[in-house]
Structure formats: C-alpha cells, structure tokens
Amino acid sequence: MQTKYETEKKDLAIVKQQAELLANEAEKKSQQTFIFSLIGLVVVLAYFISSLNKIKAKARWMLKLPAKRIYVQKR
C-alpha cells in the first residue's frame, strides 16, 4: 500500500513538472513571437521613415533647381 502511494506521488510530481515545462515553453514561444513582431515593426517603420526622407530630399532638390536656372539665365 505504501509503495502504491509513493508511486502515485512520484507520477503526480512528474506530471506536474511536465505541465510546468509545457507552460514555460509556451511562454517562451509567446515572448519570441512578440520580439520578432516588434523587430518587424521597427524595420517597417525605419523603411517608411527612410522613404519619407528621400522624398523630402528630392522635393528640396527640385525646389532649388528652378532658382539655379533663373540665376544662370540672368547672367
């Protein structure tokens, strides 16, 4: 009877440990997903900011271009 009780107790402890391991793995997977999503978001934002800066630089350059042409024509 004592042996059966100890065996059940050990089996219960093993099941509990396995459940904890599965919970830890699920939490780790969730954290990895969050981190990769955050990295992806940062990359997308960096791309959009870079694109906006290129557009602004081109617009500035195009605004300066007519002024240079007028200056050259007046000479």
Read off the tokens for 32: 């990895």
C-alpha distances in angstroms, 16 versus 12, 25, 29, 30, 71?
Answer: 6, 14, 20, 21, 83
Q: Report whether pLDDT(73) > 80.
A: no
Higher per-residue pLDDT: 34 or 71: 34
Cα 74 from chain centroid? 55
pLDDT tens, position by position, 1-59:
778 778 998 999 999 999 999 999 999 999 999 999 999 999 999 999 999 999 999 88
CA dist 46 and 8 (Å) reads 57
